[in-house]
Amino acid sequence: MAFPDWLPFAFRALACVLYASFAATDIASADEKAVGQAFVVGVSNYRNLPKLPVAANDARLIADTLAGLGFDVTVGSAATRSDLLAEIARFEDKVRQIEKPIIVFYYSGHGIQLEGEDYLFAQDAKAAAEADPATGGVGLNTIINTIVPDSSDAAGLFFFDADRVPPRKTKPAGMMPLSQSFGEVLIGFSTSPGEPRAKQKGTNGIFAAILARDLQLRDIGVQDIMHKVRDEVSDATGGLQNPWYNASLANEIYLKPPHRGN
């Protein structure tokens, strides 16, 4: 890096330091290879449904955890249903360029299960959306098939931390089992079928807090992690909330593999 003779020495020295710093950052970014791709969204400020203060906090916690594990994290806004669909489509375009990616999708917000399909809701969901969630929500099967289609070589981990909006004249219940089979996926819910979430206390929900902690455990596969999360959430809530998951993974996935021997 050359400087004119008239430039003060102190300025030249500072410029060299700044140049070295920026160059190092660029090199580090170029050399880093993400462990996988993640899409995280938490909807707190619903316009027409009850607000969920911890949902955005939970999404930030999971996003920070996944970034710490080496994932390239995309944070969605879900301001409207159209925005959420567009964000998911852009994310799908991104992961399609990667060979055999590990994909994580995390959602925290309102959800409902109706006639065998599960739906998630953006900020603009109307209170009447439960009667016709196909027009007000986004189907879970649609999300999974978009991000990890049958022909994909990706492995998908989907976590749905959904506080369910119960249909009218029905008892509140958790997200129901998937009625459709998929490829290399694990789908985890914060509650079991037929169960609501326990009352959320503190800055983060109990499921997100325990999931974020356990995802960082070394030498334990994601299915064993979900077993552990289920037991710990159940214990912490006195059995009021019992996470549930379904998996069709040909091989176990380790987000933090064991140390290699010397």
**What's residue 243's pLDDT?**
93
Instruction: Determine the pLDDT at residue 128.
Output: 76
Residue 210: HSE in the Cβ half-sphere, 13 Å Cα cutoff: 21
| d(C-alpha 210, C-alpha 231), whole Å | 10
The DSSP symbol for 167 reads: P
User: pLDDT 10s per residue in the chain (262 long)?
Assistant: 444 454 454 444 444 433 333 333 222 233 345 689 999 999 999 999 889 999 999 999 999 999 999 999 999 999 999 999 999 999 999 998 888 889 999 999 988 877 767 789 999 998 777 677 777 889 888 899 889 876 678 899 999 998 654 555 555 455 555 545 566 899 999 988 767 788 878 899 999 999 999 999 999 999 999 999 999 999 999 999 999 998 888 888 999 877 665 4
> Over the Cα atoms of the chain, what is R_g?
21
Output the six-digit token pair for 196. Answer: 């609501």
pTM, 2 dp: 0.81
The answer to whether residues 222 and 253 touch, using CB atoms and an 8 Å cutoff, is yes
Distance CA 38, CA 31 (A): 19
Report the alpha-carbon distance of residue 147 to residue 95 in Å, rounded: 8
Instruction: Write the class of the CATH domain 32-247.
Output: alpha beta
**Structural domain spans, the chain:** 32-247
Residue 17: per-residue pLDDT: 35
According to the model, what pLDDT value does residue 164 have?
Answer: 59
